[in-house]
Amino acid sequence: MAKKKFSKEWVQQHINDPYVKMAKQKGYRARAAFKLIEIVDAEKLMRRGDIVVDLGSAPGSWCQVARERMVGAGGVVDGRIIALDILPMEPIAGVEFFQGDFREDAVLQQLSDLLQGSKVDLVISDMAPNLSGVSSADSARIQHVCDLALEFSQAHLRPEGTLIVKAFHGSGFSQIVEAFKHQFKRVVERKPKASRDKSSETFLVGRGLKHP
């Protein structure tokens, strides 16, 4: 019974959420679009001509933001937006999407092949593993996803490039921050206004590789 009440409460909150309403008005696929907008505005990121890789892109709201920022004359994306997710994603004009699990070597290789040696300006990751509620197991899963994003960035980012990942405060968070500081010259934590108050999510922004 309590579960039913909770889900009713969640639905009510979701309906009344101003970011959900704004996402509908602006045609974004998810309210998460506003989290990325706030971060890229604050950091002055995502320009025409950039190569952007979106890890865990479905349903596609972050790709929509990237497309808006990078569209040039004639409505064509100036640069490249490459996206992948374990789930299917409805196509977005100018976005190169493929479906696969980022944790698998074969999928990472596919992503590398797509880049054809080009260096990436910005890697964005809204990936969150399926959480079990067991904090030690969950923190290990979150850390694994962040480590993979860091490894990918080390291999593919331009020396002055940027990585944005979603992490969660709690067990293992300080280790993720340490790993970022080891790899990047500048590391900041950002909690966008569109993040729900109850959520422990925090976005880490790493800029400028220390060892390109």
Q: Which residues are annotated as a binding site?
A: 60, 62, 85, 101, 126
Residue 209 CA to residue 183 CA, distance in Å, equals: 6
Among candidate residues 144, 129, 125, 164, the one with its CA nearest the CA of residue 39: 164
- Give the alpha-carbon dihedral of 150, 57, 186, 138, to 10 degrees: -60
Residue 102 identity: F
Catalytic annotation on 119? no
Residue 3 CA to residue 124 CA, distance in Å, equals: 34
Residue 54 CA to residue 152 CA, distance in Å, equals: 12
- Written as six digits, the tokens of 77 are 């994306």
| Among 8, 26, 166, 181, the one annotated catalytic | 166
Which DSSP state fits 26? H
Q: Which residues are annotated as a binding site for S-adenosyl-L-methionine?
A: 60, 62, 85, 101, 126
Residues with a catalytic annotation lie at 166
